[in-house]
Amino acid sequence: MTATPLLFDRTIAGPVAWTRDRIGDGNYRVALSEAALAELLDTVRTLRRQPVPLLALRPDNAALPACRLAMEEVRRVLAGGPRFAVLSRLPMDAISLDEAKSLYWILSAMLARPVAQKLDGTMIYDVHDTGRQALPGSGVRPDKTNIELHFHNDNAYNATMPEIVGLLCVRPARDGGISRVMSLASVHNALRARHGDVLPRLYRPFWFDRQREFHPGEEPVFSAPVFIRDGDRLSARISLHQIRGGYAVRGEPMDNETAAAVEAVREIFADPELQFHFRLQAGDMQFVANREIGHSRTEFQDDEDPARHRLLVRLWLRDAGPQGYMG
């Protein structure tokens, strides 16, 4: 086995490489101040008088100084802190769902530009259980089910991943649906310490199921490594569900080295000391640096009343490249 010269051959240090015992509310939680909430409610009143389609909203259409201060703190956490933040909280009792989406869009756009999440140009994406199954090649994304989502980066199966992933919690589940995050630098450290023999394989390409997000005549799978070293920075594209699906779609069994690497990642993902859990409440907004943080959620059960079913709204944010899905 030949190691790539771009392999991280040392322990990654700093705020990006955190473990559970090093995370407290002060590390990742950002509160909307009373002044920021007043600005947001004033924005809602303006939109009620002069409606504007969500996709046309721009954060520079109004000053919103207190909101900008909050989002600068979110940006600081994403860039120099643990790389995930929870912004609390939109006043959901005072606004409609469409108004909540508009405020969430405006706040998120202060971090980076929203981009398409599907080939058809879908820009704002509802995360909820549709009752369908996420089988290899089906095109059904796991976020459209109530199953446990294992740690992953969003859109790991596309050439240009989002830089930041946002989630607005509209309604939590009746049971379960707990949010989980993990530092992928810490995953790399653990792999180096416990499974150093498989680490070089993770720097070479794997097959990913493209979830039917491709043009006619294109390949249904995407090839890319799990880890990429860029100077002193580590980027990752991890989704074991899509990797297993990629090999299934190709009808190609994993060789022993590939299977061992996938199993090592799965084992590290199960380490509770590397995970941080929290429950999003209605109005909370979660943001993660998508190339450095793996996120997941536990399995959930919805209320019998459809009006109370779990609903999150997702945005992908990226300033580089075209705004379309391919990036």
In order along its 327 residues, the chain shows pLDDT tens digits of 444 557 888 899 999 999 999 999 999 999 999 999 999 999 999 999 999 999 999 999 889 999 999 999 999 999 999 999 999 999 999 999 999 999 999 999 999 999 999 999 999 999 998 888 877 778 777 878 888 888 999 999 999 999 999 999 999 999 999 999 999 999 999 999 999 999 999 999 999 999 999 999 999 999 999 999 988 899 999 999 999 999 999 999 999 999 999 999 999 999 999 999 999 999 999 999 999 999 999 998 998 898 898 999 999 999 999 999 998
- Looking at residue 2, what is its pLDDT? 47
User: CA distances (Å), 310 to each of 15, 152, 230, 241, in order?
Assistant: 32, 20, 38, 22
**pLDDT per position as a tens digit, 228-242:** 998 889 999 999 999
**pLDDT per position as a tens digit, 56-101:** 999 998 899 999 999 999 999 999 999 999 999 999 999 999 999 9
Q: Give Cβ neighbours of residue 102 (< 8 Å, ≥ 6 apart).
A: 43, 44, 47, 54, 57
- Looking at residue 187, what is its pLDDT? 98
- Looking at residue 1, what is its pLDDT? 40
The tokens for 306 are 């459809």
Residue 55: count of CB within 10 angstroms of its CB: 10
CATH code of the region 25-317: 3.60.130.10
- Looking at residue 5, what is its pLDDT? 55
- Looking at residue 146, what is its pLDDT? 86
Question: How is 96-118 classified by DSSP, letter by letter?
Answer: -HHHHHHHHHHHHHTTS-EE-SS
